[in-house]
Amino acid sequence: MNTLENTMRSELVFAALAHVPNRFLLAKLAATATRKFHRPNTRIQETMDEVFVHFSQANPIAGVKETGDARRFRDTEKAESHSRDIHGRQAAA
């Protein structure tokens, strides 16, 4: 635990960003993990630091199953890009 005392939180955050695609997702994951792993009678800051250390060592979203909402979003995204391609080809013709 001594290494955490000498490490700035910003360094922990940047290290965790190596495994998380964007900072907004990192903030959401860190908040959720901090709530789940926080122990009573300990400082919330220490729990957050532990979460960031864990995220910097392992990908926190590697084992997450894709939900139906995410699949629907990707399907909609593909359909829209396909539609744009078709309209673009028709306009060029």
**14: helix, strand or coil:** helix
Q: Are 43 and 69 members of one domain? A: no
The percentage of residues in the chain with a pLDDT greater than 70, rounded to a whole number, is 61
Number of domains, the chain = 2
Looking at per-residue pLDDT, the higher value among 53 and 82 belongs to 53
With 50 as the cut, is the pLDDT of residue 29 above it? Answer: yes
* Residues 30 and 53 reside in one and the same domain: yes
**Is 8 in the same domain as 47?**
yes
pLDDT digits (tens, 9 = 90+) for 9-22: 899 999 999 888 88
**Tens-digit pLDDT profile for residues 31-75:** 999 999 999 999 999 999 999 999 998 887 776 665 555 555 455
The residue among 12, 13, 10 whose CA lies nearest residue 26 is 13
CA angle (44, 49, 51) in 5-degree steps: 95
- Say whether both 82 and 39 belong to one domain: no
Could you identify the residue written with the tokens 């909402």?
A: 69
Cα 38 to Cα 44: distance, rounded to the nearest angstrom = 7
77 and 33, same structural domain?
A: no
The span from the CA of 56 to the CA of 3, in Å, is 14
